[in-house]
Structure 1
Amino acid sequence: MYYKQIDKKSWLCVGDGPRNPVTGQRKQISRRGKSKKEAETKVLDAIKKSEKNFSFDEKITFDEFSNVWLENYLFRGNKDSTIDHRKYCISTINNYMAKVQINKINTLLYQNFLNQLMTEGSSLSTIKGINNVAQMIFKYAKEVGLIDNNPTESSFIPKPKLEIKDIQEDRVEKLFLNSDELKIFIEEVERYKSPVIRTLLYILTFTGMRPGEAISLYKDDIDFNNATIRINKTTYRMNRIKGEFKLTPPKTLGSIRIIEVDQFILKMIKEMQHFQHIYKYVESEFLFSMNDGFPTTIDYLRTVVRRIGEKTNISKQLHTYMLRHTHVSLLAEAGVDLTYIMNRVGHRNSKTTTEIYLHVTKGMRENAQVKMHKKFSALLNLDKNEINVSKM
């Protein structure tokens, strides 16, 4: 250590930092303090930090560091779709702070970024996803000694002000089709020209599969004798191009399952396969192959559902996952318990599934209460909820 008194009120201390693992050279670290001891303490703290962070330049920008984080993240064994989502989140953050030194990003700067996302119309789920990725990146930056404070720890997810109309509208009700709406939807599905797409939409509605799971089904995943379907894969579409895809394991291990299906679904599948044979569809292992032998894309299926919805008088905005949610509501209406429903749709725990289940069963309980009251009133000869005391 080298010490030098600058003046009566300050000291300079200089020490050798750790060797650069690539060049082998040391970098001198100097700090000032009000006393010799304070200057020395600052140098020792800086050396300790440098030893922990010898591979990063303290001036590294967010985009440079996030690239390093992503390179390491690729070795965690995550699905391609998950990695693509991480890349999307990083690119969004880069739009705001790519060239800002990561150690210059404080809570105020980061909070302003989140607020701007909301102001520009990003959905709550999108903001949460981006914030989740940012948390991982800044946590890593703190672990390697680039930053002392993680700006995401003191920030919050902005939410729009609750309006009266938001209170009056039933959010859960928008997640699925009720019985009357489902009948209207099915009537329009029946008019769709492609039997492959028709059958696929029935599968989504009456099995609760995820769209990616359904279009990934092989022919031998169907067991006609036992009336079951095996679900053990999903489709990752590269570049959103129909022929460019690969099969991957499903979302979670709990998503690997065998489910029972109704005979009318099996009959539809057989009729669809007969159609594929008659019209000489290219031979394919995929159950829902189109005439070129490839299954349709999730994007196309999403467009079909939206267009079908536009042809009806259903006020809700239809999407593919609404059919999955509708299946949950149908099972809840039928009195099926929540655990079975979770297993059937491949969920260990799902807030959305639970909300739909509780919403539907609450209505059933209220309906049961009315029926019980009528029954008890008839048995006890009650009039307007009061016992006729004159007969007592």
Structure 2
Amino acid sequence: MNKNTLFSSYYKYWIHQYKDGAVRRVTLDKYNLVLRELENRVPHLRLKDLDHFTYQKLINEYALNHERLTVRDFHHHCKSAIMDALEDGLIEKDPTRHLILKGKDPKPKKIKYLSLLELKKLILKFDLNHGLNIDWLLLLISKTGMRYAEALGITPQDFDFENETLNISKTWDYKSKNGGFQPTKNKSSVRIIKLDPITCEQFAELINEIPKNQPIFLYNNSKLYTSTVNYHLKRYCEKADIPIISVHGLRHTHASLLIYDGVSIPSVAKRLGHANTITTQNTYLHVVKELETKDNHKIIENMIRLA
């Protein structure tokens, strides 16, 4: 490595030195995605030519067809390597100083979730009479609000039928070819959640013969891709004549129904495994605002009765 080294080559070397084997596969994939962008956008840019102007130009061009948040992430990945190159004397001045981050405005994202009636219609379409299958997976997510990877990582030993709880302490790497257990999204995602008696009774029978440390939905070495499950769910939504949602939409449905039913934001945040209540409030702001409007009507009615 020297000042004549291509920036993309240095970045590739930097990933191998500092990230390969030290971060999760999904995180490493993000670094490699940035590498491909550098190889395509600035294939001839050398470290010695990396200055304020060339770096700002790189960011500006990337920002033409990416949202501002994505541009920020791209910049942070690049900057991590640049700082090490600067410290090693391969770059004379920090090219990221006074950077202006640009990017497209994010598209409004409306969370898709079902009403209680729609969820009941959906569950009635599930085939729950032939042992563990995709339908049981969808049902468990609907009743717990687990993330898809968390649900795939559930093993028999995670159930505590006596106390009617489920321990969520790991996920399943369904995106990689070989799969395998991996840590949860964050520390807050490690949690114990309450189950209803009927679900406990059902799963106690379903997992009776599955080894304690085997994923209950993958115990026969099968693979379950989100695309497969989402297509399966889409067909059921169409049959039930309800809005089409994704498997992640079942998580949103679970949380929204809890909030509508008066469960506190901190309790919902803890059940979902959110790092803080702000995440929960921001994600389900539409529900919170709707409930606030209803509360205001109740307050007015109460004041009128006192008049």
TM-score (norm 1): 0.66
- Computing the radius of gyration over CA atoms, which structure comes out larger, 1 or 2? 1
Correspondence for 1:348: 275
CA distance in 2, matches of 1:109, 1:318: 43
Correspondence for 1:187: 121
Give yes or no for contact 1:215–1:295 (8 Å, CA) kept in 2: no
How far residue 221 of structure 1 moved from its aligned partner, in angstroms, is 0.7
Q: Does 1:236 align with 2:173?
A: yes
How far residue 117 of structure 1 moved from its aligned partner, in angstroms, is 3.7
Between stretches 264-273 and 61-70, larger displacement belongs to 264-273
Pairwise mapping of residues 51-200 of structure 1 onto structure 2 (< 5 A)?
56-74=1-19, 77-120=22-65, 122-147=66-91, 148-151=93-96, 154-160=99-105, 171=108, 174-179=110-115, 183-193=117-127, 196-200=133-137
1:288 to 210, 217, 220: 217
2:190 to 237, 250, 256: 256
Give yes or no for contact 1:213–1:235 (8 Å, CA) kept in 2: yes
Give yes or no for contact 1:284–1:294 (8 Å, CA) kept in 2: no
CA distance in 2, matches of 1:150, 1:199: 53
Distance 1:76 1:135, change over 3 A: farther
How far residue 89 of structure 1 moved from its aligned partner, in angstroms, is 2.4
Counterpart AA for 2:155 = Y
Unaligned ranges ≥5, structure 2: none
Give yes or no for contact 1:196–1:289 (8 Å, CA) kept in 2: no
Higher RCO by CA contacts (8 Å cutoff, separation 6 or greater): 2
Give yes or no for contact 2:174–2:224 (8 Å, CA) kept in 1: no
Distance 1:297 1:337, change over 3 A: same
Distance 1:359 1:285, change over 3 A: same
CA distance in 1, matches of 2:246, 2:85: 39
CA distance in 2, matches of 1:238, 1:367: 42
The CA deviation string for residues 46-97 of structure 1, in whole angstroms up to 9 with x for no partner, is: xxxxxxxxxx311111121112211222367322221122222222232211
Distance 1:197 1:225, change over 3 A: same
Distance 1:112 1:331, change over 3 A: farther
The CA deviation string for residues 257-296 of structure 1, in whole angstroms up to 9 with x for no partner, is: 111112233244346548xx7xxx9998222237x34352
CA distance in 2, matches of 1:352, 1:308: 30
CA distance in 1, matches of 2:85, 2:225: 38
CA distance in 2, matches of 1:82, 1:344: 25
What fraction of aligned residue pairs are identical, expressed as a percent?
24
Pairwise mapping of residues 294-309 of structure 1 onto structure 2 (< 5 A)?
294=222, 296-306=224-234, 308=236
CA distance in 2, matches of 1:117, 1:351: 30
CA distance in 2, matches of 1:235, 1:73: 25
Correspondence for 1:11: none
Aligned residue for 1:175, secondary structure, equals coil
Distance 1:100 1:312, change over 3 A: farther
2:255 to 328, 331, 334: 328
CA distance in 2, matches of 1:93, 1:328: 40
How far residue 247 of structure 1 moved from its aligned partner, in angstroms, is 0.9
The structure in which a higher percent of residues are strand is 1
CA distance in 1, matches of 2:164, 2:121: 25
Give yes or no for contact 2:68–2:101 (8 Å, CA) kept in 1: no
Aligned residue for 2:85, secondary structure, equals helix
CA distance in 1, matches of 2:154, 2:27: 21
